[in-house]
A and B are shown apart, each in its own frame.
Chain A
Protein backbone atom coordinates (compact mmCIF):
# COMPACT_ATOMS: atom_id res chain seq x y z
CA UNK A 1 0.00 0.00 0.00
CA UNK A 2 1.25 3.47 -0.91
CA UNK A 3 1.92 5.94 1.89
CA UNK A 4 1.82 9.73 1.85
CA UNK A 5 4.79 11.23 0.05
CA UNK A 6 5.87 7.92 -1.48
CA UNK A 7 5.73 9.12 -5.09
CA UNK A 8 9.31 9.11 -6.43
CA UNK A 9 9.17 12.78 -7.45
CA UNK A 10 7.93 13.97 -4.03
CA UNK A 11 10.40 11.72 -2.27
CA UNK A 12 13.41 12.91 -4.23
CA UNK A 13 12.36 16.52 -3.94
CA UNK A 14 11.95 16.39 -0.17
CA UNK A 15 15.16 14.41 0.47
CA UNK A 16 17.03 16.74 -1.86
CA UNK A 17 15.71 19.84 -0.13
CA UNK A 18 16.52 18.44 3.31
CA UNK A 19 20.07 17.51 2.29
CA UNK A 20 20.85 20.79 0.53
CA UNK A 21 19.45 22.94 3.35
CA UNK A 22 21.21 20.91 6.06
CA UNK A 23 24.47 21.04 4.15
CA UNK A 24 24.29 24.84 3.86
CA UNK A 25 22.85 25.53 7.27
CA UNK A 26 24.54 22.94 9.51
CA UNK A 27 27.43 21.21 7.75
CA UNK A 28 28.99 24.29 6.14
CA UNK A 29 29.56 26.08 9.48
CA UNK A 30 31.20 22.92 10.86
CA UNK A 31 33.53 22.68 7.86
CA UNK A 32 34.26 26.41 8.06
CA UNK A 33 35.50 26.12 11.67
CA UNK A 34 38.22 23.65 10.75
CA UNK A 35 39.00 25.38 7.45
CA UNK A 36 39.59 28.65 9.28
CA UNK A 37 41.56 27.04 12.10
CA UNK A 38 43.97 25.37 9.68
CA UNK A 39 43.95 28.16 7.06
CA UNK A 40 47.56 29.07 7.87
CA UNK A 41 48.76 25.53 8.24
CA UNK A 42 49.08 22.96 10.98
CA UNK A 43 52.10 24.70 12.56
CA UNK A 44 50.18 27.95 13.12
CA UNK A 45 47.25 25.97 14.51
CA UNK A 46 49.59 24.21 16.90
CA UNK A 47 51.24 27.48 17.92
CA UNK A 48 47.80 28.95 18.65
CA UNK A 49 46.72 25.97 20.70
CA UNK A 50 49.94 25.68 22.69
CA UNK A 51 50.03 29.39 23.50
CA UNK A 52 50.27 29.96 27.30
CA UNK A 53 46.91 31.76 27.53
CA UNK A 54 45.14 29.15 25.44
CA UNK A 55 46.60 26.34 27.55
CA UNK A 56 45.48 28.10 30.69
CA UNK A 57 41.98 28.56 29.25
CA UNK A 58 41.86 24.86 28.32
CA UNK A 59 42.93 23.91 31.85
CA UNK A 60 40.35 26.15 33.51
CA UNK A 61 37.59 24.94 31.19
CA UNK A 62 38.40 21.29 31.91
CA UNK A 63 38.57 21.93 35.65
CA UNK A 64 35.14 23.63 35.62
CA UNK A 65 33.66 20.73 33.65
CA UNK A 66 35.23 18.14 35.97
CA UNK A 67 33.81 19.87 39.05
CA UNK A 68 30.40 20.47 37.48
CA UNK A 69 29.76 16.88 36.41
CA UNK A 70 29.71 15.18 39.85
CA UNK A 71 27.44 17.88 41.30
CA UNK A 72 24.96 17.57 38.42
CA UNK A 73 25.21 13.79 38.60
CA UNK A 74 24.27 13.59 42.28
CA UNK A 75 21.46 16.11 41.86
CA UNK A 76 20.16 14.49 38.66
CA UNK A 77 20.05 10.99 40.13
CA UNK A 78 18.47 12.19 43.39
CA UNK A 79 15.79 14.19 41.60
CA UNK A 80 15.02 11.42 39.11
CA UNK A 81 14.79 8.86 41.93
CA UNK A 82 12.50 11.18 43.88
CA UNK A 83 10.03 12.03 41.12
CA UNK A 84 9.88 8.60 39.48
CA UNK A 85 9.85 6.36 42.58
CA UNK A 86 7.58 8.28 44.93
CA UNK A 87 4.40 10.25 44.60
CA UNK A 88 3.96 13.26 46.82
CA UNK A 89 2.37 16.69 46.63
CA UNK A 90 4.51 19.12 44.64
CA UNK A 91 6.07 16.48 42.40
CA UNK A 92 5.03 18.23 39.19
CA UNK A 93 6.24 21.57 40.52
CA UNK A 94 9.72 20.12 41.11
CA UNK A 95 9.74 18.79 37.56
CA UNK A 96 8.81 22.20 36.17
CA UNK A 97 11.35 24.00 38.35
CA UNK A 98 14.29 22.09 36.89
CA UNK A 99 13.41 23.48 33.47
CA UNK A 100 14.16 27.02 34.66
CA UNK A 101 17.77 26.99 33.44
CA UNK A 102 16.56 26.04 29.95
CA UNK A 103 14.20 28.99 29.80
CA UNK A 104 16.43 31.61 31.43
CA UNK A 105 18.72 33.55 29.13
CA UNK A 106 22.37 32.78 29.98
CA UNK A 107 23.05 36.48 30.53
CA UNK A 108 20.21 36.64 33.07
CA UNK A 109 21.60 33.51 34.76
CA UNK A 110 24.98 35.20 35.15
CA UNK A 111 23.35 38.41 36.33
CA UNK A 112 21.30 36.83 39.14
CA UNK A 113 24.45 35.19 40.52
CA UNK A 114 26.36 38.44 40.26
CA UNK A 115 23.60 40.29 42.12
CA UNK A 116 23.57 37.81 44.98
CA UNK A 117 27.24 36.97 45.37
CA UNK A 118 28.83 40.13 43.97
CA UNK A 119 30.14 43.02 46.09
CA UNK A 120 26.65 44.58 46.33
CA UNK A 121 24.69 41.40 46.99
CA UNK A 122 23.77 40.35 50.51
CA UNK A 123 25.72 37.11 50.46
CA UNK A 124 28.57 38.82 48.62
CA UNK A 125 28.82 41.57 51.24
CA UNK A 126 28.81 39.01 54.03
CA UNK A 127 31.52 36.91 52.33
CA UNK A 128 33.53 40.06 51.66
CA UNK A 129 33.83 40.44 55.42
CA UNK A 130 35.79 37.18 55.41
CA UNK A 131 37.76 38.32 52.38
CA UNK A 132 36.12 35.72 50.15
CA UNK A 133 35.28 36.81 46.63
CA UNK A 134 33.34 34.36 44.50
CA UNK A 135 32.52 36.55 41.51
CA UNK A 136 35.17 37.38 38.90
CA UNK A 137 37.05 34.25 39.94
CA UNK A 138 36.73 30.55 39.17
CA UNK A 139 34.17 29.67 41.89
CA UNK A 140 31.73 32.10 40.25
CA UNK A 141 32.29 30.46 36.86
CA UNK A 142 31.67 27.07 38.48
CA UNK A 143 28.46 28.24 40.14
CA UNK A 144 26.84 29.61 36.98
CA UNK A 145 28.00 26.56 35.02
CA UNK A 146 26.24 24.31 37.53
CA UNK A 147 23.13 26.49 37.14
CA UNK A 148 22.98 26.18 33.36
CA UNK A 149 23.86 22.47 33.22
CA UNK A 150 21.90 21.01 36.15
CA UNK A 151 18.80 19.87 34.18
CA UNK A 152 20.63 17.60 31.71
CA UNK A 153 21.19 14.44 33.80
CA UNK A 154 17.74 14.63 35.43
CA UNK A 155 16.10 15.22 32.06
CA UNK A 156 17.75 12.12 30.54
CA UNK A 157 16.93 9.92 33.54
CA UNK A 158 13.33 10.88 34.36
CA UNK A 159 11.57 9.57 31.22
CA UNK A 160 13.63 6.36 31.27
CA UNK A 161 13.09 5.62 34.96
CA UNK A 162 9.41 6.45 34.58
CA UNK A 163 9.11 3.97 31.72
CA UNK A 164 11.02 1.23 33.55
CA UNK A 165 8.92 1.49 36.68
CA UNK A 166 10.04 0.40 40.14
CA UNK A 167 9.07 -3.28 40.18
CA UNK A 168 12.64 -4.60 40.01
CA UNK A 169 13.79 -2.34 42.82
CA UNK A 170 10.78 -3.24 44.95
CA UNK A 171 11.58 -6.92 44.46
CA UNK A 172 15.19 -6.36 45.54
CA UNK A 173 14.17 -4.44 48.64
CA UNK A 174 11.53 -7.01 49.56
CA UNK A 175 14.20 -9.71 49.30
CA UNK A 176 16.21 -7.81 51.87
CA UNK A 177 18.69 -5.76 49.83
CA UNK A 178 19.71 -2.46 51.37
CA UNK A 179 18.82 0.78 49.61
CA UNK A 180 22.38 1.37 48.43
CA UNK A 181 22.78 -2.22 47.16
CA UNK A 182 19.46 -1.96 45.34
CA UNK A 183 20.52 1.24 43.67
CA UNK A 184 23.96 -0.08 42.72
CA UNK A 185 22.94 -3.55 41.57
CA UNK A 186 19.46 -2.99 40.13
CA UNK A 187 18.91 0.65 39.21
CA UNK A 188 22.38 1.62 38.01
CA UNK A 189 22.72 -1.15 35.38
CA UNK A 190 19.34 -0.12 33.98
CA UNK A 191 20.10 3.56 33.70
CA UNK A 192 23.84 3.61 33.04
CA UNK A 193 23.63 4.57 29.35
CA UNK A 194 21.15 7.38 29.95
CA UNK A 195 23.38 8.47 32.83
CA UNK A 196 26.40 8.47 30.54
CA UNK A 197 24.57 10.49 27.91
CA UNK A 198 23.43 12.95 30.57
CA UNK A 199 27.06 13.39 31.63
CA UNK A 200 28.15 13.89 28.02
CA UNK A 201 25.51 16.61 27.53
CA UNK A 202 26.47 18.24 30.83
CA UNK A 203 30.10 18.23 29.76
CA UNK A 204 29.32 19.68 26.32
CA UNK A 205 27.39 22.55 27.85
CA UNK A 206 29.88 23.08 30.68
CA UNK A 207 32.86 23.50 28.36
CA UNK A 208 30.90 25.68 25.93
CA UNK A 209 28.92 27.99 28.20
CA UNK A 210 29.48 31.59 27.17
CA UNK A 211 26.78 34.09 28.14
CA UNK A 212 26.49 33.26 31.84
CA UNK A 213 30.22 32.81 32.27
CA UNK A 214 31.08 36.07 30.53
CA UNK A 215 28.96 37.98 33.07
CA UNK A 216 30.67 36.54 36.17
CA UNK A 217 34.20 35.83 34.98
CA UNK A 218 35.77 39.22 34.42
CA UNK A 219 37.67 37.48 31.60
CA UNK A 220 41.18 38.06 32.85
CA UNK A 221 43.61 36.43 30.44
CA UNK A 222 45.58 33.64 32.08
CA UNK A 223 43.31 33.81 35.13
CA UNK A 224 39.55 33.61 34.65
CA UNK A 225 39.32 33.07 30.91
CA UNK A 226 37.56 29.90 29.85
CA UNK A 227 38.05 28.64 26.30
CA UNK A 228 34.88 30.28 24.89
CA UNK A 229 35.83 33.62 26.51
CA UNK A 230 39.40 33.35 25.26
CA UNK A 231 38.07 32.67 21.77
CA UNK A 232 35.92 35.80 21.95
CA UNK A 233 38.90 37.95 22.98
CA UNK A 234 41.04 36.61 20.15
CA UNK A 235 38.22 37.25 17.69
CA UNK A 236 37.73 40.84 18.93
CA UNK A 237 41.50 41.35 18.62
CA UNK A 238 41.22 40.43 14.91
CA UNK A 239 43.15 37.21 15.51
CA UNK A 240 40.59 35.13 13.61
CA UNK A 241 42.91 32.17 13.04
CA UNK A 242 43.69 32.01 16.76
CA UNK A 243 40.01 32.27 17.65
CA UNK A 244 39.14 29.47 15.23
CA UNK A 245 41.91 27.29 16.65
CA UNK A 246 40.08 27.44 20.01
CA UNK A 247 36.77 27.01 18.17
CA UNK A 248 38.13 23.87 16.50
CA UNK A 249 39.00 22.36 19.90
CA UNK A 250 35.46 23.04 21.13
CA UNK A 251 33.95 21.79 17.86
CA UNK A 252 35.96 18.60 18.28
CA UNK A 253 34.36 18.05 21.71
CA UNK A 254 30.96 18.72 20.08
CA UNK A 255 31.71 16.06 17.44
CA UNK A 256 32.65 13.58 20.16
CA UNK A 257 29.35 14.38 21.87
CA UNK A 258 27.42 13.73 18.66
CA UNK A 259 29.21 10.43 17.98
CA UNK A 260 28.61 9.31 21.56
CA UNK A 261 24.92 9.98 21.12
CA UNK A 262 24.79 8.16 17.79
CA UNK A 263 26.69 5.25 19.33
CA UNK A 264 24.40 4.99 22.34
CA UNK A 265 21.30 5.16 20.14
CA UNK A 266 22.67 2.48 17.84
CA UNK A 267 23.33 0.30 20.89
CA UNK A 268 19.81 0.83 22.21
CA UNK A 269 18.25 0.03 18.83
CA UNK A 270 20.30 -3.17 18.55
CA UNK A 271 19.28 -4.28 22.02
CA UNK A 272 15.65 -3.63 21.18
CA UNK A 273 16.00 -5.69 18.01
CA UNK A 274 17.39 -8.66 19.98
CA UNK A 275 14.98 -8.34 22.88
Chain B
Protein backbone atom coordinates (compact mmCIF):
# COMPACT_ATOMS: atom_id res chain seq x y z
CA UNK B 1 0.00 0.00 0.00
CA UNK B 2 2.82 2.41 0.80
CA UNK B 3 4.08 1.72 -2.69
CA UNK B 4 0.76 2.75 -4.18
CA UNK B 5 0.63 5.83 -2.01
CA UNK B 6 3.79 7.14 -3.61
CA UNK B 7 1.85 7.41 -6.87
CA UNK B 8 0.06 10.38 -5.43
CA UNK B 9 -0.62 13.18 -7.80
CA UNK B 10 -2.21 15.74 -5.51
CA UNK B 11 -0.86 17.40 -2.42
CA UNK B 12 0.29 15.40 0.60
CA UNK B 13 -1.95 12.41 1.10
CA UNK B 14 -2.43 11.85 4.81
CA UNK B 15 -5.54 9.70 4.67
CA UNK B 16 -5.07 5.94 4.59
CA UNK B 17 -7.01 3.46 2.52
CA UNK B 18 -5.93 4.47 -0.97
CA UNK B 19 -4.69 1.01 -1.88
CA UNK B 20 -7.61 -0.80 -0.30
CA UNK B 21 -10.35 1.40 -1.80
CA UNK B 22 -8.59 1.44 -5.18
CA UNK B 23 -8.26 -2.34 -5.07
CA UNK B 24 -11.91 -2.95 -4.22
CA UNK B 25 -13.18 -0.40 -6.75
CA UNK B 26 -11.05 -1.55 -9.66
CA UNK B 27 -11.67 -5.23 -8.94
CA UNK B 28 -15.41 -4.68 -8.66
CA UNK B 29 -15.71 -2.48 -11.76
CA UNK B 30 -13.60 -4.92 -13.79
CA UNK B 31 -15.43 -8.07 -12.69
CA UNK B 32 -18.99 -6.79 -12.46
CA UNK B 33 -19.18 -4.09 -15.12
CA UNK B 34 -16.45 -4.57 -17.71
CA UNK B 35 -15.81 -8.32 -17.89
CA UNK B 36 -19.41 -9.20 -18.87
CA UNK B 37 -19.26 -6.68 -21.73
CA UNK B 38 -16.33 -8.67 -23.14
CA UNK B 39 -18.72 -11.63 -23.36
CA UNK B 40 -20.81 -9.61 -25.78
CA UNK B 41 -17.81 -8.81 -27.96
CA UNK B 42 -16.73 -12.45 -27.83
CA UNK B 43 -20.09 -13.45 -29.24
CA UNK B 44 -19.94 -10.74 -31.90
CA UNK B 45 -16.46 -11.88 -32.99
CA UNK B 46 -18.10 -15.01 -34.38
CA UNK B 47 -20.08 -12.92 -36.86
CA UNK B 48 -18.80 -11.53 -40.14
CA UNK B 49 -19.45 -7.86 -40.79
CA UNK B 50 -22.01 -8.73 -43.46
CA UNK B 51 -23.87 -11.06 -41.09
CA UNK B 52 -23.79 -8.43 -38.35
CA UNK B 53 -25.13 -5.78 -40.71
CA UNK B 54 -27.86 -8.11 -41.97
CA UNK B 55 -29.07 -8.79 -38.42
CA UNK B 56 -29.14 -5.20 -37.25
CA UNK B 57 -30.83 -3.88 -40.42
CA UNK B 58 -33.47 -6.59 -40.74
CA UNK B 59 -36.93 -5.11 -41.35
CA UNK B 60 -38.52 -6.21 -38.09
CA UNK B 61 -35.51 -4.99 -36.07
CA UNK B 62 -35.44 -1.61 -37.80
CA UNK B 63 -39.18 -1.27 -37.15
CA UNK B 64 -38.46 -1.92 -33.46
CA UNK B 65 -35.85 0.89 -33.43
CA UNK B 66 -38.43 3.23 -34.91
CA UNK B 67 -41.09 2.27 -32.37
CA UNK B 68 -38.64 2.58 -29.47
CA UNK B 69 -37.04 5.87 -30.53
CA UNK B 70 -40.35 7.43 -31.56
CA UNK B 71 -42.14 6.53 -28.35
CA UNK B 72 -39.11 7.53 -26.23
CA UNK B 73 -38.97 10.91 -27.98
CA UNK B 74 -42.68 11.53 -27.34
CA UNK B 75 -42.26 10.41 -23.72
CA UNK B 76 -39.26 12.73 -23.30
CA UNK B 77 -41.18 15.73 -24.66
CA UNK B 78 -44.16 14.99 -22.39
CA UNK B 79 -41.77 14.66 -19.46
CA UNK B 80 -39.93 17.88 -20.26
CA UNK B 81 -43.22 19.83 -20.07
CA UNK B 82 -44.86 17.93 -17.24
CA UNK B 83 -41.60 17.68 -15.28
CA UNK B 84 -40.91 21.40 -15.60
CA UNK B 85 -44.45 22.15 -14.41
CA UNK B 86 -44.07 19.85 -11.39
CA UNK B 87 -40.63 21.17 -10.46
CA UNK B 88 -41.89 24.75 -10.73
CA UNK B 89 -44.98 24.11 -8.62
CA UNK B 90 -42.97 22.21 -5.98
CA UNK B 91 -40.32 24.94 -5.68
CA UNK B 92 -42.35 28.13 -6.05
CA UNK B 93 -45.68 27.55 -4.34
CA UNK B 94 -46.95 26.44 -0.96
CA UNK B 95 -50.17 24.48 -0.88
CA UNK B 96 -51.75 21.69 1.12
CA UNK B 97 -50.42 18.30 0.09
CA UNK B 98 -47.16 19.67 -1.25
CA UNK B 99 -44.98 17.29 0.78
CA UNK B 100 -47.09 14.38 -0.40
CA UNK B 101 -46.79 15.48 -4.02
CA UNK B 102 -43.04 15.80 -3.60
CA UNK B 103 -42.80 12.27 -2.19
CA UNK B 104 -45.01 10.94 -4.99
CA UNK B 105 -42.48 12.14 -7.59
CA UNK B 106 -40.14 9.29 -6.71
CA UNK B 107 -42.81 6.61 -7.03
CA UNK B 108 -41.78 5.55 -10.57
CA UNK B 109 -38.21 4.90 -9.35
CA UNK B 110 -39.34 3.01 -6.26
CA UNK B 111 -42.03 0.93 -7.93
CA UNK B 112 -40.79 -2.22 -9.69
CA UNK B 113 -41.17 -1.88 -13.44
CA UNK B 114 -43.21 -5.06 -13.79
CA UNK B 115 -45.69 -3.71 -11.25
CA UNK B 116 -45.95 -0.46 -13.21
CA UNK B 117 -46.36 -2.54 -16.36
CA UNK B 118 -49.30 -4.68 -15.30
CA UNK B 119 -50.95 -1.73 -13.54
CA UNK B 120 -50.80 0.58 -16.56
CA UNK B 121 -51.94 -2.25 -18.84
CA UNK B 122 -54.93 -2.94 -16.57
CA UNK B 123 -55.83 0.75 -16.17
CA UNK B 124 -55.72 1.54 -19.89
CA UNK B 125 -57.24 -1.70 -21.24
CA UNK B 126 -60.78 -1.23 -22.56
CA UNK B 127 -62.19 -2.65 -19.31
CA UNK B 128 -59.92 -0.49 -17.09
CA UNK B 129 -60.70 2.76 -15.30
CA UNK B 130 -58.87 4.95 -17.84
CA UNK B 131 -59.39 2.80 -20.92
CA UNK B 132 -63.13 2.66 -20.21
CA UNK B 133 -63.21 6.46 -20.31
CA UNK B 134 -60.88 7.02 -23.24
CA UNK B 135 -61.89 4.31 -25.69
CA UNK B 136 -65.48 5.53 -26.23
CA UNK B 137 -63.86 8.87 -27.18
CA UNK B 138 -61.75 7.12 -29.78
CA UNK B 139 -58.43 7.03 -27.91
CA UNK B 140 -56.90 3.61 -27.72
CA UNK B 141 -53.89 3.56 -25.42
CA UNK B 142 -53.29 -0.07 -24.47
CA UNK B 143 -51.64 -2.22 -27.15
CA UNK B 144 -50.66 0.81 -29.28
CA UNK B 145 -47.49 2.90 -29.37
CA UNK B 146 -49.31 5.50 -27.25
CA UNK B 147 -49.29 2.93 -24.45
CA UNK B 148 -45.55 2.41 -24.95
CA UNK B 149 -44.93 6.17 -24.72
CA UNK B 150 -47.14 6.36 -21.63
CA UNK B 151 -45.23 3.58 -19.87
CA UNK B 152 -41.92 5.21 -20.80
CA UNK B 153 -43.11 8.59 -19.54
CA UNK B 154 -44.24 7.01 -16.26
CA UNK B 155 -40.92 5.32 -15.53
CA UNK B 156 -38.75 8.32 -16.42
CA UNK B 157 -40.63 11.39 -15.11
CA UNK B 158 -38.50 11.68 -11.92
CA UNK B 159 -35.35 12.35 -13.97
CA UNK B 160 -36.70 15.69 -15.19
CA UNK B 161 -38.31 16.77 -11.91
CA UNK B 162 -35.28 15.88 -9.78
CA UNK B 163 -32.77 17.52 -12.14
CA UNK B 164 -34.67 20.80 -12.59
CA UNK B 165 -35.88 21.15 -8.98
CA UNK B 166 -32.49 21.94 -7.31
CA UNK B 167 -31.57 24.46 -10.02
CA UNK B 168 -34.87 26.30 -9.56
CA UNK B 169 -34.32 26.27 -5.80
CA UNK B 170 -30.90 27.87 -6.17
CA UNK B 171 -32.23 30.68 -8.33
CA UNK B 172 -32.12 33.85 -6.19
CA UNK B 173 -35.38 35.77 -5.77
CA UNK B 174 -33.75 38.96 -7.07
CA UNK B 175 -33.53 37.44 -10.53
CA UNK B 176 -37.24 37.43 -11.19
CA UNK B 177 -37.92 40.45 -9.00
CA UNK B 178 -35.66 42.47 -11.25
CA UNK B 179 -37.44 41.22 -14.36
CA UNK B 180 -40.86 41.92 -12.88
CA UNK B 181 -39.94 45.39 -11.67
CA UNK B 182 -38.89 46.27 -15.21
CA UNK B 183 -42.47 45.56 -16.23
CA UNK B 184 -42.12 42.20 -17.98
CA UNK B 185 -45.18 39.96 -18.07
CA UNK B 186 -45.01 36.51 -16.46
CA UNK B 187 -44.60 34.76 -19.79
CA UNK B 188 -41.85 37.03 -21.07
CA UNK B 189 -40.00 37.04 -17.75
CA UNK B 190 -40.14 33.24 -17.57
CA UNK B 191 -38.86 32.84 -21.11
CA UNK B 192 -36.17 35.49 -20.90
CA UNK B 193 -34.99 35.11 -17.30
CA UNK B 194 -35.88 31.71 -15.82
CA UNK B 195 -35.54 29.50 -18.88
CA UNK B 196 -31.93 30.50 -19.70
CA UNK B 197 -30.97 29.49 -16.15
CA UNK B 198 -32.71 26.15 -16.05
CA UNK B 199 -32.49 24.89 -19.60
CA UNK B 200 -29.16 23.05 -19.17
CA UNK B 201 -30.73 21.13 -16.28
CA UNK B 202 -33.91 20.60 -18.28
CA UNK B 203 -31.94 19.21 -21.23
CA UNK B 204 -29.90 16.94 -18.92
CA UNK B 205 -33.01 15.59 -17.18
CA UNK B 206 -34.86 15.08 -20.45
CA UNK B 207 -31.79 13.36 -21.92
CA UNK B 208 -31.57 10.97 -18.96
CA UNK B 209 -35.29 10.26 -19.27
CA UNK B 210 -34.83 9.52 -22.97
CA UNK B 211 -31.92 7.09 -22.35
CA UNK B 212 -33.91 5.32 -19.66
CA UNK B 213 -36.91 5.01 -22.00
CA UNK B 214 -34.79 3.48 -24.77
CA UNK B 215 -33.83 0.58 -22.51
CA UNK B 216 -37.04 0.15 -20.53
CA UNK B 217 -38.55 -3.32 -20.67
CA UNK B 218 -40.70 -4.40 -17.72
CA UNK B 219 -43.06 -1.44 -17.71
CA UNK B 220 -43.65 -1.59 -21.46
CA UNK B 221 -44.15 -5.21 -22.52
CA UNK B 222 -47.50 -5.61 -20.75
CA UNK B 223 -49.13 -2.56 -22.31
CA UNK B 224 -47.39 -2.71 -25.71
CA UNK B 225 -49.26 -5.57 -27.35
CA UNK B 226 -45.91 -6.61 -28.84
CA UNK B 227 -47.05 -6.87 -32.46
CA UNK B 228 -44.04 -7.30 -34.79
CA UNK B 229 -43.45 -4.17 -36.92
CA UNK B 230 -46.12 -2.28 -34.97
CA UNK B 231 -45.63 -2.24 -31.20
CA UNK B 232 -42.51 -4.28 -30.62
CA UNK B 233 -39.69 -2.50 -28.78
CA UNK B 234 -36.00 -3.24 -29.32
CA UNK B 235 -35.46 -4.62 -25.79
CA UNK B 236 -38.19 -7.16 -26.51
CA UNK B 237 -36.56 -8.04 -29.86
CA UNK B 238 -33.42 -9.04 -27.91
CA UNK B 239 -35.54 -11.09 -25.53
CA UNK B 240 -37.35 -12.84 -28.40
CA UNK B 241 -34.03 -13.73 -30.10
CA UNK B 242 -32.79 -15.18 -26.82
CA UNK B 243 -35.87 -17.35 -26.42
CA UNK B 244 -35.17 -18.70 -29.90
CA UNK B 245 -31.59 -19.46 -28.73
CA UNK B 246 -30.33 -17.04 -31.39
CA UNK B 247 -27.50 -15.72 -29.20
CA UNK B 248 -25.66 -14.12 -32.12
CA UNK B 249 -28.76 -12.20 -33.19
CA UNK B 250 -29.53 -11.10 -29.64
CA UNK B 251 -25.93 -9.93 -29.16
CA UNK B 252 -25.84 -7.99 -32.41
CA UNK B 253 -29.00 -6.04 -31.54
CA UNK B 254 -27.84 -5.63 -27.94
CA UNK B 255 -24.56 -4.14 -29.15
CA UNK B 256 -26.50 -1.46 -31.04
CA UNK B 257 -28.57 -0.66 -27.94
CA UNK B 258 -25.48 -0.68 -25.72
CA UNK B 259 -23.53 1.57 -28.07
CA UNK B 260 -26.35 4.09 -28.43
CA UNK B 261 -27.07 4.29 -24.70
CA UNK B 262 -23.40 4.60 -23.72
CA UNK B 263 -22.83 7.28 -26.37
CA UNK B 264 -25.85 9.22 -25.11
CA UNK B 265 -24.72 8.82 -21.49
CA UNK B 266 -21.28 10.12 -22.38
CA UNK B 267 -22.79 13.06 -24.28
CA UNK B 268 -24.97 13.93 -21.29
CA UNK B 269 -21.97 13.73 -18.94
CA UNK B 270 -19.86 15.98 -21.16
CA UNK B 271 -22.75 18.40 -21.53
CA UNK B 272 -23.32 18.44 -17.77
CA UNK B 273 -19.59 18.90 -17.12
CA UNK B 274 -19.49 21.94 -19.38
CA UNK B 275 -22.56 23.38 -17.73
CA UNK B 276 -21.21 22.86 -14.22
CA UNK B 277 -17.88 24.47 -15.17
CA UNK B 278 -19.70 27.45 -16.61
CA UNK B 279 -21.68 27.89 -13.41
CA UNK B 280 -18.55 27.75 -11.29
CA UNK B 281 -16.77 30.10 -13.67
CA UNK B 282 -19.64 32.55 -13.31
CA UNK B 283 -19.59 32.38 -9.53
CA UNK B 284 -15.88 32.47 -8.87
Query: Contact size class for A?
Result: 35 or more
* B39 within 8 Å of A (CB atoms): yes
- Chain B 225-253 interface mask (CB, 8 Å, partner A; 1/0): 00000000001101100100001001100
Q: Does B123 contact A (CB under 8 A)?
A: yes
Q: Which of A4, A88, A99, A114 contacts B265 (CB 8 A)?
A: A99
Question: Contact between B37 and A111 (Cβ–Cβ < 8 Å)?
Answer: no
| Cα(A163)–Cα(B128), bound, Å | 48
For the complex, would chain A's binding face be called helix, strand, loop or mixed by DSSP majority? Answer: helix
Give the complex CA separation of A103 and B258 in angstroms.
Answer: 8
Complex: how many Å from CA A128 to CA B114? 32
Return 14 A-B CB contacts under 8 Å, by A number: A7-B186, A19-B101, A78-B28, A85-B15, A89-B9, A103-B265, A105-B214, A107-B217, A120-B247, A150-B32, A179-B16, A208-B115, A210-B113, A210-B114
Closest beta carbon of chain A to B142's beta carbon, Å = 13
Instruction: Name, among A4, A94, A143, A208, the residue most crowded by chain B CB atoms within 10 Å (CB to CB).
Output: A4
Contacting pair B29 A97 (CB below 8 A): yes
Looking at A45-53, A188-196, A242-250, the stretch in contact with chain B turns out to be: A242-250
In the complex, per-residue mask of B7-22: 1 if CB is within 8 Å of any chain A CB, else 0: 1111001111110111
B173 in the interface (beta carbon within 8 A): yes
Which of the segments B53-61, B87-95, B198-206 contacts the partner chain?
B87-95
The reply to whether B265 and A115 form a contact with Cβ atoms under 8 Å apart is: no
Residue A126, interface by CB 8 Å: no
| Cβ A81 vs Cβ B86 within 8 A | no
Whole-angstrom distance between the Cβ of B258 and the nearest chain A Cβ: 6
A3 at the interface (CB under 8 A from B): yes
Binary flags per residue of B171-205, CB closer than 8 Å to A gives 1, else 0: 00100110111000010011001100000000000
> Could you say which residues of chain B place their CB within 8 Å of the CB of A258?
103-104, 106-107, 110
Verify if B254 is at the interface (C-beta below 8 Å from A). yes
Question: Closest Cβ of chain B: how far from A144's Cβ, in Å?
Answer: 9
Residue B73 interfacial (CB < 8 Å): no
Taking CB atoms, residues of chain A closer than 8 Å to B85 are 14, 17-18, 21
- A99 lies within 8 A of B17 (CB): no
Instruction: Specify the chain B residue showing the minimal Cβ separation from A81.
Output: B21
Contact in complex: B261, A103 (CB < 8 Å):
yes
